[in-house]
Structure formats: structure tokens, C-alpha cells
Chain A
Amino acid sequence: MDLSSQRQAVDGQVEVAFKVNGTAERLRVDPRTTLLDALRERLQLTGTKKGCDRGQCGACTVHVDGRRVLSCLTLVAMVEGREVTTIEGLAEDDQLHPVQRAFIECDGFQCGFCTPGQIMSAVAVLREGHATTDAQIREAMSGNICRCGAYPAIVEAVKQARS
């Protein structure tokens, strides 16, 4: 099927104001821009990773108003007025967040590419109280794929951060 006659490239821009890691940002963007691409390509916050761009891998997980969301399935225009937290905003005053420390101490990663998403999920899972048993942790962390296979250590890291 030839779709070209039905499509028109979009030229307009939208303006969006939101907070990222406590800093107010105002962007004029192509309305097709995802939160993920805005973070990475416009704000150079490249800690958030694009693994699939389809909401299938979890690598792009960030917090919007404290809730974990997939930034690849979120248009940046949708976060107008909201507070976004990325992996770069987790440590405070150069002190690693307890979950970040636990991931290092438990070796909860290898290549590190899924790690920002894993950590953002883990922080939210702990906050939500969804980490009371090993089985619950495994289930709650199953939206974040780790192809290196660090899962057992990720479970250990979440438990360590919980205590």
C-alpha cells in the first residue's frame, strides 16, 4: 500500500514546559517528539536509554510525578507542567541513591545499558511497596529486560536497598 499520498510531513512546533530533575525546561519541539528523544537529543540527558522505542524493553523508564513511565511511549508534549526524574537526578549531592549503591554492590548489571531503566523501576517498586517477597520483586521488575542476564543480582540489589 502506498501511504505517501495520505501523509503530510509535520512542520509545526509545540512548546512544552516541564521540570527535569528539579530544573525548569522549556522546549519548542516537533509534536512527534517522545519524552525519551527530548531528554536524549534536546537536553542531552543520555542516561535514559532507547532499547526498543516500542515500550517492550523498559530501558527508557523514568519517573513522571513520581510514577514510573516508559519515556518512549510518552510524547514530550504530554508532560507539560509535570516533574520528570531521570537516572541523572537520582543521586543527591554526589551521594548515590541506595538503589544505585545496591546495584554496584550486588553486581546487578553487566553492560549497563538497561541499568538506568532497571534502577528507575526498582526505586519506584520499592516506593510502591511491591517488593516484599523475591517472587514479587521478580514479577515487578519483569518489565525491564536485561539481556546480559543479571536478574538474580537485580533481585538481590532490590532486597538490599529495601533493608
Chain B
Amino acid sequence: MRSVDREDGPVKVTGAATYAADHHPDGLAYGYLLTSTVARGTILAMDTAQAEKAPGVIAIYTPFHPLELRPYAKEENGELTPPIQNTDVRYYGQAIGLVVAETFEQARDAAALVSTRCDAERPRASFTDGLPSAVGTSVVDVLADGVSSIDEALDAGDVTVTATYTTPAETHVAMEPHATVAFWTGDQVTVHTATQGVRLVVDRLSETLAMDPARFRVINPYVGGGFGNKWDMWPHTPLTVAAARALGRPVKTVLTREQVFTVVGHRPLTAQTVSLSAARDGTLVAVKNDGVSSKSASNGFHEQPANLSLALYGSANLHVSRKAVTLDVPATTIMRAPGESNGSFALESALDELAGELGMDPVDLRRKNDTPVHPATGLPWSSKHLAECYTVGAERFGWSRRSPRPGTVTDGDWLVGLGMATATYGAGRGQASINVRLRDDGRAVVSGTAADLGTGQSTVFAVLAADRLGIPVGRVVPELGDSATPPAANAGGSGSTSTNGPAVQLAADAAKEALVKLATEHEKSPFHGQEVTFSAGEVRSGGDGMPFGELLTSLGVAAVEATATSPRNPVRDHAFRSFGAHFCEVRVNRWTGEPRVTRWSCVVDAGTIVNATTARSQIVGGVVMGIGQALLEDLRIEPETGRFGNATMADYLVPINADIPPIDVEFLNYPDTLLSDLGARGIGELGNVGAAAAVANAVHNATGKRIRDLPITLDKLL
């Protein structure tokens, strides 16, 4: 495995990396969003007279003085309705206007001078209250021959456990608040905006502004975290682009942190009722998961947490259902491992409960039900080494020291418990195009519309191109996040490296071919008419070699380039997933109930690891977010008002440095050659899946208390 320092490290540690809000075109004006202070109703009037007279104010756009925007053609995990086109209020904190002024301070001050009158209705804001009337008919049943229902199958097992697991709304809290800077040159617009894919923004803007996509250039090479929250394009972006056009000058709008909590979507609440039935030896005979998710009245996305129960453990009988409860809350959207993060909390907690009932070790129970085929489809897994993850992880972590009897290990004032869970996430390979340009300065530029949210994607590009070209990694210049480059994969669904990686390799090969062609056909080339090869960054013939930069310089050619497209995965007779195993130690204070995670090991089976340095950070980051999910994160919806009651970074708790122990990560690194020659699957979500359950299982082992409602706060342990 290669371990390469992040190629963008130097610009990120010196402050030179330019994120969306760092752009400052001449003549810049500042936008500031107005947001609703009721959760449901109709805006009757907005008094902007005082704000219009305030110093520096240039324009105020509201539903009564809108910028024209058209509805989006399809949902991208966000809203179809662009902002301020009508007077509907669908949630608290909805964008209902934009103030533009000469300075940020003036825009903010003027925004506070706008008063809004609403005809407010009582919002639907309680998930719990809505559960009995959850809607949805989507059911999957996989039943063995002769079995007529999942409940019949459940009855046939020797041991059955049934419980309901609930998870709160969560939110991404990427460190970079969403920002858009737009400036027009004639009928062309350049947009710097924080996004997981510049192509997504081009598509969205061309729909809502009814303009040819070719007129948009979206540039965003550095993204301050995404986690799903920068997949869709949110209301500030079209407002800013349209305002810049209307005013004939550049506009920058940066969401305040409080606005980030409501304007750009959150992870829905879920409830899952899981039943597992097993034979005395631990063999699962039936798995049933009825899953419900909250859903915003503003959009369609909701999680399907039960789905994971179809894909992880072998069982002759499987059942999942998916329902949703509609609430008058901000958009529900994708967040790291959508569905599977919450799905694994329920399923992996239930496995632990079943292990307890059976008197089996939780690892042995999982081994018993490990399966070489997809449990629901029967397709063989392309490459699965989950059993080895368990073995290696148990060894590295010291799992054998776990007491099977909960609440029996203490260390001073602390109850100590060990827990584990399986990690998994779906894998795939889409289509991607990449350009590789070999320059006369000896550097290779690799470009495509891909995004690096901190994932290490740009370094992966550098490593793959360098290896293919036989040059040092430092001589590759990755250029990501520019819509003017070939269409590569957006950052989402753990698909960037599996999709873009093979395209980088193909494009490097094509660039080599283009260079060889030039070397043999250019009249002034020292290799003219000869048989040549390309290796280690040099064109070679016989014993003579010349670095490509030198050759290009001698020919007066600035660069040769080639674009290649890697197709989507054509394999239909196998199933693809990444796997892993989490092991953790939790200490619970016997007097205060405070839970602390104190050790962690994670073993990962995700195919080829292109760069162990950045891959490790991806897994660690997923685990850290999982620890937050387990112990801290809880976006509180006030049932009376529909308002998020803790929409600040001081009140919505995410892990801080003091919350996190050293995290041991081990990669098995078996290439998945059925997915691609590169053999890389995905790791972005994997570390997050199962992490919360591992903590919950360790809490149970420490205390004997089974907490089925996240987060596991100390009040639940007293």
C-alpha cells in the first residue's frame, strides 16, 4: 500500500487554499438571507421600507419582489421549489428573501430591519406523534419455500429478539458554511460555490435560470467538508446568481451557521422495529425490520434504514418495510451513509441482543451468519473478506479480554465494556471521464469535475497518474472542481475512487500513447520513425531515453493531452459491497453515567487502498462521526413550533478532540478485480456504518443497560 502525504497539504496548512467564500471579485456586493420564523403558513406582508433606506443597501428580494426562478426538473435530495417564488412557508428557517448591500455588516443590519407578517398554522413537528400514521407500502419479502409469512418464519426459530430502535435528526455541520460567489461577464456566469460536484450546480442553475448549461462555469477546487450536505444546490445559490445578474455586479452570500442548520437540510429521524430469530446454534432463520423515517413536507428524500437488513447477514427469510412520517421541517437530505448508518445501529444492536440471548460471543454469531452471497438476491459477493476482518480486528483489539457478563468489569470509578459491530457500505462504479495533459515542464495535469471534500481524492488522482506514468507523485498536478473539465464522478455514495480512479489510469495511458505518437511522427523528434516505448516518465528507444518534458520542450510543443472515459460497471452477476469490523472500549462513570470511548480498532475490506494515508483519515473520520451519533448528536425539533431548538455549534454537539481516543485502522487491501482493474471499492461512508452500534454494544457490556434510543446520553445510564 502506498502512503502519500496529501498533495494539497501545503496550501491547506498555509491558508492558500481558496474555498468558495474566499473569492473577492472587484465590485463585490454582499447578500444576506432572510429566513422564516414560523414553520408553516403564508407570508402576508414583508415590510422592507426601513431596510431599503439603510446605508449601503442595494436591493431586497422577497416573494413580493422576487428574482424569477423556475422549479427544478428532479429532486437531488433537496427541494424542487426554488426560493421566494411564492408566499408559502414550509418550515422554520426557510429562505424567504435576500438583502444585498455594499458590505456584509450593512446587509446583515438591513436584514434585521425587515419585518414579516405571517398567517401561521400549527406545524406537524413530532415524529413520535406521526409514527402511528406513517405512510408507505414498500415491502420486500424474501421467504423460503413453503413459508407463507415472515412472522411464521420468526416463530420457527429457537430464540427470537424483538425491539424498536430510534435515532434523532442529525445534521452535517461541515466546517465550511455554504457559500456562493457569482459574477457575470456578458451572458456567461462564473460561480464559486461549495459543492460535492460542480456538474450538479451547472445542471441545477441551468434548470432554474432557464439557460444553456454552457453559459455556467462552476469552480470549487476546495470544499470544506460535505457529508452529503453539499450534494444538492440550496436556495442561496440561485438567489445569489440571479441577484448578480439583476444588479450587474458580483454578489457573495455566505450562510450564517444558524442558517446552515435550516436552509440546507438534515438527516431524518428514524425508528426501526427489528425481529431476529435464530436456531440454537446461532443460525439466523428470519430477519424482519420495519423502518420508518421522517420526511420534510418540502421534499421527497427520506431514509430507508431497514434496507441494510436485506444485505448483511444470511437468512432464509427476510422482510423489510419502509414508511415515512411527513413533518413541517427543513428538507430531509442525505448524510454520510444515508439509511445504512441508522440501519446498522438497529441491526447491529439487535445482533448483540440476540448473542446475549443465545449465550454466544457476538463475533461468533456474526461469523455464523456471514454469507458468500447477497442474502436477498443470492448473487455472489465480488470480493468479501469479512471473516478476516473479525479475526484480525479481534486480535488487534484484544477482544478475548471481553467479559461475556455485562457490568462485571470495573476500573476505579469506571465500568468498562467492549463492543463490536460490522461495518459495510454498498460499492459500485459509474462512468467518468478524465483528461491527462503532459506538459513541457515535466508535469502531468490530471483534470476532471470530481470533488475533494477532504476525502483525499485529489491525492488519489496524483498517486494513480504518477504510478501509471512512472513519475514522482509531486510532478502530478490534480485539477478538480471545475465544470470546464471532463465529467467525472461527483463526491457521494463512496463512489469517487472506484469511479474516477480507473478513468485516471485510462487517461494516463491515452496521454502516453499521444506522446509516443508525437515522438515517432514529429519530424524534429530524435525518435522520429523509430520504435519507442514509454516508461518511468521517459520516451525510450533502444538504450536512449528522454523525459517527456524535455522532449516536448525540444519540439516546442507545450503539452500533449488525452481524455479517456471509463464506463460504468457492466457486471450484473455479482453483488458489490465494502465490509469491515469495529471493536471499541467504552467506560461509563458509575456515579455520573458519563460514557467515554477509550479505544477503537477498525479493520477494513474495501478492495485496493490507493493511498493508505488519506484512506485511514477517511475511516477515522467516519468512526468519529459515529461516536458523535452514538453519544452526542441530536437535532431537537420543538414540537410546538417546528423550530430546531439547538441550531448552533454550541448546542448541537459534535465530537471534540477530548472525546476521541486513538483509533487503530487496518486495511486488508484485497483488490476487487470484478469491480475494476484498479480493484478499489469505497471508504467514505464505511467507517461510519456500525460505529454507533459498536458503542451501544460496549455500553451494554459495561453497564448491562441496552440503550435503543440515540444518542446515549448520561441520563439514560443513571
Contacts and interface: CB of A to CB of B under 8 A. Distances in A.
B183 interface: no
Given A41-B104, A145-B175, A151-B660, A111 B223 contact: yes
Given A37-B105, A110-B617, A113-B176, A96 B14 contact: yes
B15 A116 contact: yes
A103 B13 contact: yes
Contact of A151 (B104, B113, B649, B657): B657
B662 interface: yes
B624 A151 contact: yes
Contact of A111 (B54, B254, B453): B453
A110 B456 contact: yes
A113 B14 CA distance: 11
A9 B106 CA distance: 8
A77 interface: no
A116 B8 CA distance: 14
Contact of A88 (B15, B18, B113, B256): B15
Given A51-B257, A109-B13, A113-B176, 7 more contacts: A32-B105, A40-B22, A96-B13, A112-B17, A112-B224, A119-B13, A153-B620
B266 to A, nearest CB: 14
A134 to B, nearest CB: 8
A153 B661 CA distance: 11
Nearest to B28: A41
Contact of B173 (A4, A87, A147, A152): A147
A46 B257 contact: no
Given A142-B658, A149-B623, A150-B617, A50 B115 contact: no
A23 to B, nearest CB: 15
A20 interface: no
Given A37-B104, A52-B257, A104-B6, A112 B649 contact: no
> Which label, helix, strand, loop or mixed, suits the secondary structure of the A interface?
loop
A50 B21 contact: yes
B86 to A, nearest CB: 25
B576 interface: no
Centre residue among B12, B104, B222, B223 by max chain A CB count within 10 A: B12
Contact of A41 (B24, B456, B621, B623): B24
* Residue of A56, A103, A149, A154 most packed against chain B (CB within 10 A): A149
A113 B225 contact: yes
A14 B570 CA distance: 65
A149 B625 contact: yes
B175 A147 contact: yes
A141 B658 CA distance: 8
A107 B617 CA distance: 7
Nearest to B623: A149
A107 B614 contact: yes
A45 interface: yes
